[in-house]
Structure 1
């Protein structure tokens, strides 16, 4: 009896070990995504999801994939893909300084014509290197030029004269909303089409000092004050719509000194003013009329090219567009491949490219290249089909290299998806979050995904966390 009394518990223990040690089946990918969408009550958002296995040519998960969503900066995927197809990764922009005139001793007399090609990198702070206008001015001085008389003409006709696309909110243009928000597009650009405005505290109760370079680039209405506080600022720098009038309000601490980059409303005038200043800094006297070519009755004879500035290859520009989500670069690139140099022409060109890739464009609306427009609409299904197309495209390597990797420093994924094999473009506007790109399954299959969340009331960080966890779920397994 005692022996059987010992045997019974032992058999129970063995049975428990066998049952408890069995491995429960892993949740399916569908179940895991559903669980993540129900966590934190984020399922109240309007979700659009498409996860497509590129090697198996099979949709792994779909939710509202054929519905239209605001893509935010995921729009840049469409822009960069179309540009790589139309322009190519080796394309270089050219900005040319022409001269048509005569030389009298050390004086140049006639027309200097600055001809742009829409290059977003000309003098850009995003590109390391010397200021091309400064280099050109110094070269003229080194050639013995002491004075220039005549006209300095800006040729921006490679683009139309519509600097803003449809669907942008006026706040992007009139208020400081962030880096490269509301910059005017133009055929002739310089320093990202922004003017540096330096503000320094003076004495408490008095207006701060304001310095602009070049001085006549914008007009200033200074309603700000210097406070008696050592720290803490409420300074606001706003621009009157469609003008170059800046209005400063609020206060700065008495220790404050800082520079604000303010978009200009007339990029061509800004370039011409900046070049004249560079000429003067190089020791060259100027007596120049600054003229936009649009204000001339007849196109002037360009004469001979003096200097040419080439951009870096487009593959590097595409990386700035996608890795840094640079809105200004995206808008310049958008018009660069657009018929007539317009946003409307670029929209038609983008849709033409998508149709060639066998993508249904009936539910797509394309108003800009950056995704700032709240009139843009994209379906998750169209996005993964585009990603699948670019995975086989002749410019595949340049396209992939333009996308941020998880945790990659100085990109929009800097603090996201560390230790996850993912290349993807982020997107964010008010009540909009998106992430589209590529990852790899445990079986080695490559996957394209598009994740959109619109019209949510949950905290944005929960939406972004959910998006990242869905990507991890795709990369970690689940059928």
Structure 2
């Protein structure tokens, strides 16, 4: 375990136990991704790049993960495209990375928390299945045209949908209908630019021409960026629900905005070299979400970052983006301390972490990071012990 607790007002550390040692931080990595987004993405998400000509409009993807995502009811980019009477031509975006991050657990490919990264995400790069064998439901409805599926005959087909298993290398899904109650299953699909545009044009009821040719919209004087929504509308669910997909796409949007290509390593290297050059221990930072077990960070590094974020973006904004007790991933924790702790959690098997801000009974602000690795129990007793430690810290300091 590594513990770092710092009081900004005095410049003193209250705890520094293994605080300069490296740990796998899990989703605490999203704090670094959040910093990058707050620093460089601006106040709105880039939804689409366009070049509007006399007879047609060229569109280029920006990596915005909110297009047709079920979490977001407002869809300004879709509404814009639906009103265009000109021919729509999609240009290929320079996607200079891979669908999965380095060090991700390959056997989680069927899980909704490990959907693929892509240049043009649609519907969150997931399909929502439900219903029964007699009436199977899809969201988006268009997905039925572009996937194959079969029923698992070993379980019978008289109940509700219970399990969905996708083939690793293709969009072929096998369903089990042995459930006793109505439920939904959210499963990723294998992405491609062509599939994304097919799903989009099916929803638009409008043809999108995709010649698979790269055109850089920024080379044209007519190029402009359409924005989809305020950035905090993405950052809040990213931090509250620890949404891996939103975090990964944040780095891709950033690298595309700054360098015209989607590659998380480029923006990570730039942030570490330029903005975080004074960090106490340089981390090994490899993805946006923290899914990778290659990530290595120290508690002091998180405390440094949280202090920097407070100074650059303001504590009040950080308090709106990070959950408190009873919210998000802290839903069942820190209920007594709700409104006085604002933190990001992180959990992988044998790994859990929490870093954030704590306001004590004496109204003192503390910045803390507690990283746990290599325990063999479930995460719950570890989290409860940390909860007790932070509660006592708030009561007594």
Q: TM-score range by the shorter chain?
A: 0.7 to 0.9
Following the alignment from structure 2 to structure 1, what is the Cα–Cα distance between the partners of residues 167 and 57? 31
Say if 1:196 and 1:463 are closer, same or farther in 2 by CA, change over 3 A: same
Structure 2 counterpart of 1:246: 172
* Structure 1 residue 189, shift from structure 2 partner: 2.1
| Conserved 8 A contact 1:100-1:301 | no
Match of 2:237 among 320, 339, 342: 320
Match of 1:156 among 80, 93, 108: 93
Match of 1:375 among 281, 294, 310: 294
Q: Give the aligned length.
A: 390
Following the alignment from structure 2 to structure 1, what is the Cα–Cα distance between the partners of residues 14 and 349? 29
Structure 2 counterpart of 1:12: none
User: Per-residue displacement from partner, 1:299-343 (whole Å, max 9, x unpaired)?
Assistant: 9998978x9752222233222211221111100112233354312
TM-score, length-normalised on structure 1?
0.72
Q: Does 1:335 align with 2:252?
A: yes
User: Per-residue displacement from partner, 1:378-402 (whole Å, max 9, x unpaired)?
Assistant: 1001111111222211455433321
| Conserved 8 A contact 2:26-2:290 | yes
Say if 1:257 and 1:100 are closer, same or farther in 2 by CA, change over 3 A: farther
Q: Does 1:48 align with 2:2?
A: yes
* Structure 1 residue 117, shift from structure 2 partner: 1.7
Following the alignment from structure 1 to structure 2, what is the Cα–Cα distance between the partners of residues 302 and 265? 32
Say if 1:350 and 1:246 are closer, same or farther in 2 by CA, change over 3 A: farther
Say if 1:333 and 1:327 are closer, same or farther in 2 by CA, change over 3 A: same
Say if 1:120 and 1:291 are closer, same or farther in 2 by CA, change over 3 A: same
Say if 1:303 and 1:278 are closer, same or farther in 2 by CA, change over 3 A: farther
| Conserved 8 A contact 2:252-2:263 | yes
Aligned to 2:383, what secondary structure does the other structure show? Answer: helix
* Structure 1 residue 430, shift from structure 2 partner: 0.7
Say if 1:154 and 1:200 are closer, same or farther in 2 by CA, change over 3 A: farther
* Structure 1 residue 271, shift from structure 2 partner: 2.8
Q: Which stretch shows the higher mean deviation, 429-438 or 159-168?
A: 159-168
Aligned to 1:404, what secondary structure does the other structure show? Answer: coil
Q: Does 1:419 align with 2:373?
A: no
Larger Rg: 1
* Structure 1 residue 166, shift from structure 2 partner: 0.6
Structure 2 counterpart of 1:107: none
Say if 1:396 and 1:475 are closer, same or farther in 2 by CA, change over 3 A: closer
Structure 2 counterpart of 1:125: 70
* Structure 1 residue 457, shift from structure 2 partner: 1.2
5+ long unaligned stretches in structure 1: 1-46, 103-110, 203-207
5+ long unaligned stretches in structure 2: none
Structure 2 counterpart of 1:64: 18
User: Per-residue displacement from partner, 1:97-147 (whole Å, max 9, x unpaired)?
Assistant: 555574xxxxxxxx65331222122222222324743x346424xx6x8xx
Q: Equivalent residues in 2 for 1:170-209 (5 A)?
A: 170-173=106-109, 175-176=110-111, 179=112, 181-202=113-134, 209=136
Structure 2 counterpart of 1:41: none
TM-score, length-normalised on structure 2?
0.86
Structure 2 counterpart of 1:80: 34
Say if 1:353 and 1:380 are closer, same or farther in 2 by CA, change over 3 A: farther
Structure 1 counterpart of 2:142: 214
User: Per-residue displacement from partner, 1:177-217 (whole Å, max 9, x unpaired)?
Assistant: xx4x2222223222212233445223xxxxx8575632466
* Structure 1 residue 270, shift from structure 2 partner: 3.2
Following the alignment from structure 1 to structure 2, what is the Cα–Cα distance between the partners of residues 299 and 438? 42
* Structure 1 residue 465, shift from structure 2 partner: 0.4
Aligned to 1:65, what secondary structure does the other structure show? Answer: coil
Following the alignment from structure 1 to structure 2, what is the Cα–Cα distance between the partners of residues 56 and 301? 51
* Structure 1 residue 344, shift from structure 2 partner: 1.3
Q: Does 1:292 align with 2:212?
A: yes
Following the alignment from structure 1 to structure 2, what is the Cα–Cα distance between the partners of residues 396 and 78? 16
Q: Does 1:351 align with 2:279?
A: no
| Conserved 8 A contact 2:280-2:300 | no
